[in-house]
Structure 1
Amino acid sequence: MTNGMFDVDRIRKDFPILSRELPGGRPLVYLDSGNSSQKPAQVISTMREHMEQHYSNVGRALHTLGGESTEAYEGARDKVAAFIGAPGRDEVVFTKNASEALNLVAYSFGNPTCDDDRFRMGPGDEIVISEMEHHSNIVPWQLLAQRTGATLRWFPVTDEGRLDLSGLEELVNERTKIVSIAHQSNVLGTVNPVDGILARVREVGALMLLDASQSVPHRAVDVAALGVDFVAFTGHKMAGPSGIGVLWGRYELLSAMPPFLGGGEMIEAVWMDHSTFAPVPHKFEAGTPPIVEAIGLGAAVDYLTAVGMDDIRSHEHELTVYGLKALSEVPGLRIIGPSTAEDRGGLLSFTVPGIHPHDVGQILDDQFGVAVRVGHHCARPLHLRFGIPATTRASFYLYNTTDEIDALVRGIHYVQKVFG
């Protein structure tokens, strides 16, 4: 399948695991990239080569290996900054995942060591999230509310799987200190409208954070153009390794925030009774960082850039259009989320009447080699909103094909026969 210059057959050859046979000779049909993407050979070889030839700790050694490792690690920061349009490399903080990045921001609010009024929080102040959030963008704010006495509020979700913005002006008000929402839902695929919400956030003097774990891997994201204050995402969903995530934040905000973890590397000087801290981003990178993982993320950024983020988005849009039509023709199947591909990412969550998603997923894997995600996808409140315990989710990436969607549909028909 070739879309203009986008040659998915060629791309698939870059991902060794996609040629693997599963037990029984079944070909692998990997439709779980929303959970974690597969890795191209270019990323694997870059990480291996660094460990074989250049590895050392970073920022601490004056020998040759220390210099090479530090240069590669900081080079990865430069690559990430360019990839997301960050105004400065020092605005890119490496974390171990998006969850840590979100927790880092939440930790700054109501922290007595932070004297910036924008981060003051207590009874009467409000935090705003949405009903479609991943647990990683719910629990840190619940903990913050418990810690400070602030009130947690949220945007509801419509039956069509969109944010209900009808109460925007009442929900985001002069008591709001932070609005934190998903850029793209990991269950619904919904791409949320940032501009209108951000305009209201600015009116009331609050801050805004985007959980971009499901958008940065799939579309060109320019943090400067978005205009928000913080963006969090993770490496393992964007052809990079696990164990590495990113928090981007405005430099003046990051400078005002207190350290999240204490230890080596994040200090300027230490006495027995007090310490001073390194400038951002190193203030937030205590201890030995995920060196090889960051370098692997840099290689993933190189790979995705070479393929072209606009081409990746167009390819996934075509898959989404095809998948929506194919699944809508399965008798009784219910797609959770928008019924069209407009403002929608490349994942489809669905239920099959009378059949638990765990059974759907197991049979798809056992009989057809189709790997999907089943459960509530770390978004239980959203499933409660739709009155269902779980869904089956097929998620697409640059290496997927319409033939694989056809295999999914054949598998669902088989599941229905088994339980018929």
Structure 2
Amino acid sequence: MDFGLSERETYWRDRVRDFMAAHVYPAIPAYNRHFTQEGAARWTVIPVIEELKAKAYSEGLWNLFLNKSEHDDPDYAGPGLSNLEYALCAEEMGRVGFASEVFNCSAPDTGNMEVLRQYGTPQQKAKWLRPLMDGEIRSVFLMTEPDVASSDATNIQTSIRREGDEYVINGRKWWSSGLGDPRCKVAVLMGKTDPESQRHTQQSQILVPTDAPGIEIVRMLPVFGYDDAPHGHAEVVLRDVRVPVENVLLGEGRGFEIAQGRLGPGRIHHCMRTIGAAEVALEKMVDRLTSRIAFGKRLADQSVWEQRIGEARLDIEASRLLCLKAADMMDKAGNKEAQLEIAMIKVSAPRMALRVIDDAIQAHGGGGLSEDFGLARAYAGQRALRIADGPDEVHLRAIARLEMGRHAARMRAWREGAVADAAPVRA
């Protein structure tokens, strides 16, 4: 087992790292100044982001998440990084909250682009995928609903009813991340086309222009008080929204199939960035502990803080290895074969980051609760990831079922004498 980085992995990671050092870190003050504005001004495009996007595009650091697949259309090709190569780049992006957008690698656009590239018709790709890949527009994914447990997508109740050459959509969605952005022009919506069909073929996904009549943004939902302007997380009502039948993706009843293909890469992208966020929190914690004096000595010299620093490093390294293993398995065996590793890192990474950030907040005392050090915002973002793309409980359930299935297979093999060393261990 080789833990060293290949020449290509190092090349792409270092290019992103160097760009971050030269352009992204120096832009943080300008980015933060945008939020000192009041009212509607906060919900406008942030100029420094557009400037950085143009630089990243010109340097070829663009759409790095779009790896090669058997479905590749040369007109919509990315740079062809593997999941493992992209994982190293995404960790660097995760060190700054807005950095992934600079490289056109931020959610939900990444997942929506992957869906359109894999399942879209030539017309859908030309109309929506091309401007998304060029960074001209942004998008939103409308799935979660306030009135049902959306962690089980079969519960979704939004109606997609066909009338002649149109579909009529009625429903209410929330946590619609990105809908506040004035550049958000298209939604990928999941709803129910056939309530009488089998459980996993009732749902469909359809493309909805965000300026379609009947769409009402009810409110922007804050996360622990942060509204994440101009991105935002909207509650939105759709009343008799009409779209052409050609806007359906892949066909009626294929929504669940599309969702499963979309979520694997999206889940691990979040985890990759989480490693970077945890590294920043640890750096801030160590800096604080080595510069702050309490009770006559540095905080770093207090034994409790030595323990916390050590545990943080252990946790980050363990999560990074699991994340890279999952990415490598996705590359070599496919998303389905890597489902256990994807589920494990989706639970492990946000939990790890929350522990590290929480200790960093504690090290900063009252300052850690403010926005002076960026730790409170980081905590809010990581806490949301324990729910986004499936809550911990769903992934732990999947892990448990895979484990029990593996145990049952070993028991069968042992009983049949097929595997000599498959006997269960008894206490």
TM-score (norm 2): 0.25
Which of the pair has the greater relative contact order for Cα pairs under 8 Å at 6+ separation?
Answer: 1
- Normalized per residue, which structure has more helix? 2
TM-score (norm 1): 0.25
